[in-house]
Chain A
């Protein structure tokens, strides 16, 4: 694609996500690429979400001459969402008949939606499934980019996976995409990023090959009810055990690494779990060093000490 081919058209790309995902990096790559091809580019964004998890979006517009820096509703040629709920929130920006929709099916539940996160309940997170959405848009790709990135060994490159998918929707040369990407990512991560980029492209190829019906990815994993797996052997004279408030845990890993007995582990949801309760000595280090107040070391409700157990858990939230 170059100026001569598409003299008067303007392409609007809207990139959305939450803080820390790399929205700005994606838009930077795209903007740099467009600029190299001689387009007038405007990239306008909201970021600075030091409070991680805040909404981040970036409008990238390019063409012969761009005046307005932002994309208006119903005018985005491409909507690229790094997070599922954000994809839905911005969906009305997409051009109804021709727009391309690309989204990660990954759920990042914002803290305020967690407040009522009872066992598995996710009422405050969007209920729409990728199938529903993809069937509504002109061209839709919903992929588990974070999953793909995690397979590559670094979940942070999920944005690059999506960039790969995006590259199939815009008519720039693949080699140019790769050059620009390599230029902008930290040198140490160039290989991983290029690999992730390829995966994103491959995914589209794969989808194109398969019959249309099965284009959609499987349903995103609903947040499964978090079950505290406390298996206590009654014959062990042990009365203290960490009780974890899953909804408060942010998965910082401190307790896991600091536990002298190594009895805690992060599960696939990045939430800490007590995996080896029989080794726990009740030393409280996990409780003391948890920055999220997510661990309470309490007396175990075993026949040994039923009375004593009543003190703390009574006031614990029902999430436990």
Chain B
């Protein structure tokens, strides 16, 4: 028996992955292979999250030509460039603002935002709140690795208390954001969270999120192995990704958790889902009424 056994089997649900999908999905069809190997550090969880996203896109049979990936700044932002689609690498914290304009201007496109914890919750926090409030048809995948990796390992709004970073040299003392609760409270129609260790499960979550008509927010618990992991003695890449297992619990587990590695108890799975009207459709219907009156 091995710790990893249940990755392909989610408890009772043994049909997490269809064998056909796993066989037919060729990730190279969705990658700009000429740019590889990618720039991420060895063991960086962002690559795994990217695979989950691309697999979900494959399963939903989304035309790459109509797929737009909008990303921000940081390690998360740079991952967008590796996807063979229309990729917009925007400014720090603002991918949701760009995506809002794009999704309203071109409802025919599928807009997916890739952002990071610093990008989305610190400098771009305002945009997350309002994108959630509007419920425009955008999928936002936030890669949470608890740290600003690209700039060399500074504390982010999700850096767990007591963790060491270059800007919390004696351990972070700031409380952390629970991004999912934030998005849910602000009105996001679909909110979910999963870990990179459970890649197929994450893929299913992302698939549901992309299918949702409205603002869907998915927090991916990723690992920064080279900077955050090393600074905090969290072990090498395999140890770090395995520790996600003890730290996270599917939401069906309720509040039953053992000692988590983050001080707050983060649940995984679909955490919120409602049928609020999608903003783009609402706007267009509203505009049509105005046009009809004018005639």
Which of A's residues lie within 8 Å of B, judged by CB? 20, 48, 50-52, 111, 114-115, 245, 247-254, 256-258, 260, 283-285, 288-294, 296, 299, 311-312, 315-317
A-B contact count (CB 8 A): 113
- B149 to A50, Cβ gap below 8 A? yes
Q: Closest chain B residue to A257 by CB distance?
A: B238
Q: Closest chain A residue to B150 by CB distance?
A: A50
Which of B's residues lie within 8 Å of A, judged by CB? 2, 4-5, 7-8, 22-24, 26-29, 31, 33-34, 36-48, 51, 149-153, 196-197, 199-200, 225-227, 236-239, 241-242
Query: CA–CA, A258 to B283, complex, Å?
Result: 49
Q: Closest chain A residue to B148 by CB distance?
A: A50
The 10 closest A-B pairs by CB, nearest first: A291-B47, A252-B43, A257-B238, A250-B42, A252-B42, A260-B2, A252-B237, A248-B37, A288-B199, A50-B152
Q: Closest chain B residue to A316 by CB distance?
A: B28
Q: List 23 A-B contacts (CB under 8 A).
A: A50-B150, A52-B226, A111-B37, A111-B38, A247-B36, A254-B241, A257-B238, A258-B238, A258-B242, A260-B4, A260-B5, A283-B8, A284-B8, A288-B7, A289-B241, A291-B40, A291-B43, A291-B46, A291-B237, A292-B40, A296-B28, A311-B23, A315-B26
Shortest Cβ gap from A52 to chain B (Å): 5
Shortest Cβ gap from B92 to chain A (Å): 15
Q: Closest chain B residue to A117 by CB distance?
A: B37
- A285 to B48, Cβ gap below 8 A? no
Q: Closest chain A residue to B238 by CB distance?
A: A257
Which of the residues B29, B197, B236 comes within 8 Å of A253, measured between beta carbons? B236
- A293 to B241, Cβ gap below 8 A? no
Query: Which residues on the A side are within 8 Å of B4 (C-beta)?
Result: 258, 260, 285
Q: Closest chain A residue to B226 by CB distance?
A: A52
Query: CA–CA, A299 to B2, complex, Å?
Result: 24
Query: CA–CA, A245 to B36, complex, Å?
Result: 10
- A50 to B151, Cβ gap below 8 A? yes
Shortest Cβ gap from B220 to chain A (Å): 12
Query: Which residues on the A side are within 8 Å of B44 (C-beta)?
Result: 252, 291
Query: CA–CA, A316 to B28, complex, Å?
Result: 7
Query: CA–CA, A201 to B208, complex, Å?
Result: 61
Q: With A51-B150, A250-B41 in contact, do A115 and B237 touch (Cβ < 8 Å)?
A: no
- Among the interface residues A50, A248, A299, which one has the most CB atoms of the partner chain B within 10 A? A50
- B153 to A250, Cβ gap below 8 A? no
Query: CA–CA, A292 to B79, complex, Å?
Result: 11
- B27 to A293, Cβ gap below 8 A? yes
Shortest Cβ gap from A287 to chain B (Å): 8
Shortest Cβ gap from A203 to chain B (Å): 29
Query: CA–CA, A294 to B48, complex, Å?
Result: 11
- B8 to A256, Cβ gap below 8 A? no
- B39 to A111, Cβ gap below 8 A? yes
Shortest Cβ gap from A162 to chain B (Å): 22
Which of the residues B27, B34, B37, B48 comes within 8 Å of A250, measured between beta carbons? B37
Which of the residues A248, A257, A290, A315 comes within 8 Å of B29, measured between beta carbons? A315
Query: Which residues on the B side are within 8 Å of A245 (C-beta)?
Result: 36
- B7 to A285, Cβ gap below 8 A? yes
Query: CA–CA, A114 to B38, complex, Å?
Result: 10
Q: Closest chain B residue to A308 by CB distance?
A: B23
Query: Which residues on the A side are within 8 Å of B200 (C-beta)?
Result: 288
- Among the interface residues B37, B150, B197, which one has the most CB atoms of the partner chain A within 10 A? B37
- B39 to A290, Cβ gap below 8 A? no
Query: CA–CA, A51 to B33, complex, Å?
Result: 19
Query: CA–CA, A315 to B200, complex, Å?
Result: 23
Query: Which residues on the B side are within 8 Å of A251 (C-beta)?
Result: 42
